[in-house]
Amino acid sequence: MKRLLVFIIALISVPVITVYSQTKTDPYFTKEGGFGYNIMSDAICSLWWSEASYKVMRDAPLPKKKDPEIKMWAARNEYESFILVLRPLKRMENFRISIPDLKDNRGNVVSGGSLTVRKVEYVKVSRPTDSYGFAGWWPDPLPLYEQPETIMPSENQPFWVTVKIPADALAGTYTGNILLNAEGWSATVPVKLQVWDFTLPTAPSMRSGFGISMSSIKRYHNLSTPEEEREVFEYYMRSFRDYRISPYTPFQYSPIKEEVKGVPWKGGYFDSKEKHGGTYAYKVADNSPTSNIEAFSVDLTPVNSNNSYNLIWYSRSDTAKQEYVTGLECFNAEKKLLVFENKIDRFTAGKTWEPDTLKIGKFNQEVRYVRVKLFPSNRTRTGEDKGTVWFDDITLINNDTRLNEFTAGNFEVNLNDIDIELDFTEFNNAGKKYFDEYGFTGYRLDLKGLGGGTFYSREAGVFEGFEQGTDEYNRLMERYLGQMQENLKKNGWLGREYIYWFDEPNEKDYPFVRETNAMIKKYAPGITTFLTEHVSGQDITDVTDISCTIWHRLDHDKIKKLK
């Protein structure tokens, strides 16, 4: 099939799938004695076990069901887990777990080295985030069990045990015993593993997308250096690999490096409609109540501190009296910013083009270079002022020579001079690991220049100052998308990506979403477009490859088209 149906699941920290946890008001908790199976009890400790799909709370009661043998069923090349729970009546010192080989009746072995034991630790939740939870100690971290433990009395202490069935294991029933001992106490727990006669592939056939937040992981693990971040990130990637799921962002530390040359301004928009002269003016818009939006010239302009200068330009606004700020940043011979030498002042723009001048005079002897800065509103500490101002025909006049020394002020840009350089080196090296070795089936590919939004609001795309809908934008996106598709195709990864750029559009947003997806499909038809949807009756399946739909809003006719 060309198209697949995908459901996105958020993964916050430890990759553990949990489908049920007991709560204080749950009748299953109070009446039935809880989930799981009772193994044994003596004067020192009670033992029980459960499947790995549960969270074992510290005060969960002993289960009434009895089954002294731990049972597992798994395919070859599969991970299967169970939870072994101790509930001591007395403090247990130097508690140890030993798991020998599992064997079948023909002498075949699943090595004890294929089993991993992790101690279940708890996190105190003071404020529940939803009605499902409650305040208390919740199981979450799973550190490796690597040394003898002290087990405290009168509360559960679970251990999470995982077996990796080798890909070449023979089908059959394997048995063995888990050996438990502490000072003055020991127990033996039988284990039975049924290995089915088929093998799971290393890479799953179903595409998945799990969210992962490195900012949360950094706080959770107290990471302080980039080296620590990369190391821990790779541990998470290996865990995704082991559980055969794919993260949104495996390329967080190996991105596609982008460099665009030939565009002399950043922060605004080249406007061919509202201009004072030539082909373009430069539009700078501040719509934020919390930031000071700015535009600036990319290259530094050399100046002579022995000469006197004036900065002259034309401006206009869409309001009668729009206050804005214009000026120069100053740099020394090493091109380091000299903050206290900046030349900046406040001006007012109207609805018609009018000239303005910033009288600079002579620069300090340390000043060797300048950069033009444009602010469409007042610069304030909190950034609350807003506004839109167009600028054109900016000149930096040397009053001694009468010459203009600023060459980028007319905002004339030749698209043929714009060079889009994409360096795929790090991305491709990581792709060989994550796709070819780890078997990830999908990832979220971020594209430069796309707009975005949700059902609350949206914004159009911008590529290096050219707004979506213009011919210049389309021509630049064509060059950019063509390089993206060619690299993925060359490496055999085309189709693993999905472009997740808009979240759950409302009805009014669908024409805009169609426009963008159609643009992607026009210039890179092989790249996968993706859309989360919650509105019934909308259908842009001709330009959307993957629909992620809320279950109760599922349109079966639409899904048939996708198939």
Q: Residue 86 burial (CB < 10 Å; 0-12/13-18/19+)?
A: buried
300 domain residue, yes or no: yes
158 and 275 belong to one structural domain: no
The 10 Å Cβ neighbour count of residue 497 is 21
| CA separation for the pair 232, 228 (Å, rounded) | 6
In a domain? residue 10:
no
Shared domain for 336 and 296, answered yes or no, is yes
Q: What is the pLDDT along the chain (563 residues), one digit of tens a residue?
A: 333 333 333 333 333 333 344 444 444 444 445 799 999 999 999 999 999 999 999 999 999 999 999 999 999 999 999 999 999 999 999 999 998 899 999 999 999 888 899 999 999 999 988 888 889 999 999 999 999 999 999 999 999 999 999 999 999 999 999 999 999 999 999 999 999 999 998 888 888 999 999 999 999 899 999 999 999 999 999 999 988 899 999 999 999 999 999 999 999 999 999 999 999 999 999 999 999 999 999 999 999 999 999 999 999 999 999 999 999 999 999 999 999 999 999 999 999 999 999 999 999 999 999 999 999 999 999 999 999 999 999 999 999 999 999 999 999 999 999 999 999 999 999 999 999 999 999 999 999 999 999 999 999 999 999 999 999 999 999 999 999 999 999 999 999 999 999 999 999 999 999 999 999 999 999 999 999 999 888 889 999 999 998 888 888 888 888 77
Q: Which of 412, 446, 479 is the last residue of a domain?
A: 412
Strand, helix or coil for residue 155: coil
In this structure, is residue 421 part of a structural domain?
no
Q: Is the pTM of this model over 0.95?
A: no
Terminal Cα-to-Cα distance of the chain (whole angstroms): 6
Contacts of 251 (CB under 8 A, 6+ apart): 427, 430, 431, 434, 443
* Any domain includes 552: yes
Burial 354-376 (b: 16+ CB within 10 A, else e): eebebebeebeeebbbbbbbbbb
β-bridge partners, 443: 497
In whole angstroms, how far apart are CA 284 and each of 20, 269, 311, 394?
53, 6, 18, 14
Residues 502, 518 within the same domain? yes
| Measured CA distances, 158 to 147, 155, 179, 247, 447 (Å) | 15, 10, 15, 28, 45
Q: What CATH number is associated with residue 339?
A: 2.60.120.260
In 226-378, alpha helices (H): 226-242
In a domain, 417, yes or no: no
Question: Could you tell me if 367 and 452 lie in one domain?
Answer: no
- Both 227 and 84 in one domain: the answer is no
| Number of domains making up the chain | 3
- The number of residues making up the chain comes to 563
End position of a domain, from candidates 199, 218, 239 = 199
In a domain, 7, yes or no: no
Decide if 369 is inside a domain.
yes
Is the CA virtual torsion 198, 199, 203, 207 positive or negative?
positive
Looking at the structure, do residues 160 and 309 belong to the same domain, yes or no? no
Residue 77 lies in a domain: yes
